[in-house]
Structure 1
C-alpha cells in the first residue's frame, strides 16, 4: 500500500457521505467493482497512476469506462480524486472502504483455500462453523490452489490455520533437514 493514511481518510469520508445519503450499500458495490477492476485490468491502474496523461483526459477516459456503471456518489468521488491528483490511490481507497464497511456492518472476512473446488453445501457448513464462534456476520471467500495437494488453509482476522498436505510435507522436509534424530543417537 502506497499511502495507508491517505486511503483511510478518503475512505472514511466516502463511508460517512454515503451513509449520510443512504447510499452505503450502493457505494460498497461500486468499491468492490473498482477493486475487481484494479485486480483484473492493469491498464486501468496504469492509467490512474500515469503522470503523463493529463487530468482532464483521465476524467474523460474514466467517465467513458464507468458510464452508467457507478452510483452518482462514487462517480463524483472519482472526479474529486482526479481533480485533487489522487486518482492513483483509487485501488487502495476502494480496499480501505471495504475494510471500514466491514467494521461498520460487523462483518468478518474469512478466506478458505482448498486444493480442489468445494461445493456450496460444504462452504455453507464451514461458514456456519466459523460463525458459531463469533458474534459477527461471516463473509466467506473460497479459492483453489492445487499446490496444497490436499486439505485447506483458513484465514480469518489475521489468523492462519494451515491444514494442508503441502504444509505437512514441508514440516517433514524441515525435520529431515535438521536431522535431530542423528544427534540423539550419539
Structure 2
C-alpha cells in the first residue's frame, strides 16, 4: 500500500536542499555584509546624534557664559559710570569750594581796602578841615593861635563833624 499523501518527490527534496544551500550562501555572503553595513550605518547615525547633542550642550553652555559675561560687562560699565559721576561731583564740589574760598578772600580784601581808603579819606579831610579852621580862626580872631589853642579848636571841630554822617 502506498500512501498518496506521503509521496516523496525527489524534485521537492532537491529544491529544498538547493533552497537551504542558497540560504546559507546568501546568509554568508549577503546577509552578514548587509547586516554589518546596517550596523555600521546605525552606529554612524548614533554617533551623529551624540555629537549633535554634545554640540547643543556646548552651545547652550557658551550661550550661558556669554549672557553672564554680558551681564558682568553691563554691571562693570554701570559701576564705571557711577564712579565717574562720583569723581565729577567731587571735583565740582572742590571747584565750588575753591571758588567760594577765593571769593570770600577777595571780599575780605576788598572790605579791608575800602576801610583803608575810607580811613585815608577821613584823615585827609581832617587835615584839610584843620587847615581851614586855622585859617578861618586866624582871620576871625585876627591873630595867630598857639599850638595848644589850635589843637583844641581842631578837636572841637572834629568832634562836632564826627556826628555828621557822610552820604554816598
More strand by share: 1
- TM-score normalised per structure 1: 0.15
Between the two structures, name the one with larger relative contact order (CA 8 Å, sep ≥ 6): 1
Normalising to structure 2: TM-score of the pair?
0.16
Select the structure of larger CA radius of gyration.
Answer: 2
